[in-house]
């Protein structure tokens, strides 16, 4: 693991053992961009950064990566913005369900009443589906937008959080307050 950043640890007052939490997670899982790899290698070659085999405190880099991994982006439910194939399949399923219900009812109800009943059943099901897609989708979209705001704020805090391998602490500059790595959720 390459550590050594621009930020001084508030506990040990050194720069040679600090690294962004986001870069630690990316180094371990191998998702660094080419620019990030080049920047880290430049810092390593210039002596500003160094290679650490294991952080102090008993944890491995892989364990820290699991602790520092950021949660995935929230997803909008499929039924809020359904694709054309979903609508087609859903419409087909509703029509087949209504026809099956009418076939079953045709043996129980005389034909003159069956036409009116079929119309009422069709109207009920279409109203129910319309309600779900309008009112339910609006609630789901508002909940998704609130989740996205919270996720975006937490992501910003995550990218500003640093780790000191020497002291096994995390911190958010310019604050002098440090936390144990497992307390990262309090910062996000």
Q: What pLDDT is recorded for position 88?
A: 63
Average confidence (pLDDT) over 167-181: 90
The per-residue pLDDT for range 117-164, each reduced to its tens digit, is 777 877 787 777 777 666 777 788 889 999 999 999 999 988 899 999
Q: Rounded to the nearest 10 degrees, how much is the dihedral formed by the CA atoms of 74, 75, 80, 81?
A: 140
Mean pLDDT of 160-181: 90
Q: What is the pTM of this model?
A: 0.67
44 with 52: CB under 8 angstroms? no
Domain ranges of the chain: 2-71+161-187, 84-150
Query: Pick from 51, 2, 56, 8: which is nearest to 24 by CA?
Result: 2
């Amino acid at each position: 693991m390459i550590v050594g950043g621009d930020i001084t640890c508030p506990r040990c007052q050194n720069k040679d053992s600090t690294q962004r939490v986001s870069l630690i997670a990316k180094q371990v899982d191998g998702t660094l961009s080419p620019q990030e790899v080049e920047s880290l290698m430049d810092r390593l070659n210039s002596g500003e950064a160094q290679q650490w085999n294991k952080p102090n405190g008993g944890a491995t880099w892989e364990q820290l990566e699991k602790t520092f991994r950021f949660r995935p982006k929230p997803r909008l439910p499929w039924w809020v913005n359904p694709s054309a194939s979903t609508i087609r399949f859903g419409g087909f399923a509703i029509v087949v369900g209504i026809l099956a219900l009418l076939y079953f009812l045709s043996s129980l109800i005389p034909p003159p009443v069956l036409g009116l009943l079929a119309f009422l059943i069709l109207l009920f099901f279409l109203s129910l589906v319309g309600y779900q897609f309008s009112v339910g989708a609006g609630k789901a979209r508002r909940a998704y937008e609130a989740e996205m705001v919270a996720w975006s704020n937490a992501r910003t805090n995550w990218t500003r959080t640093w780790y000191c391998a020497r002291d096994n602490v995390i911190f958010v500059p310019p604050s002098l307050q440090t936390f144990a790595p497992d307390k990262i959720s309090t910062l996000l």
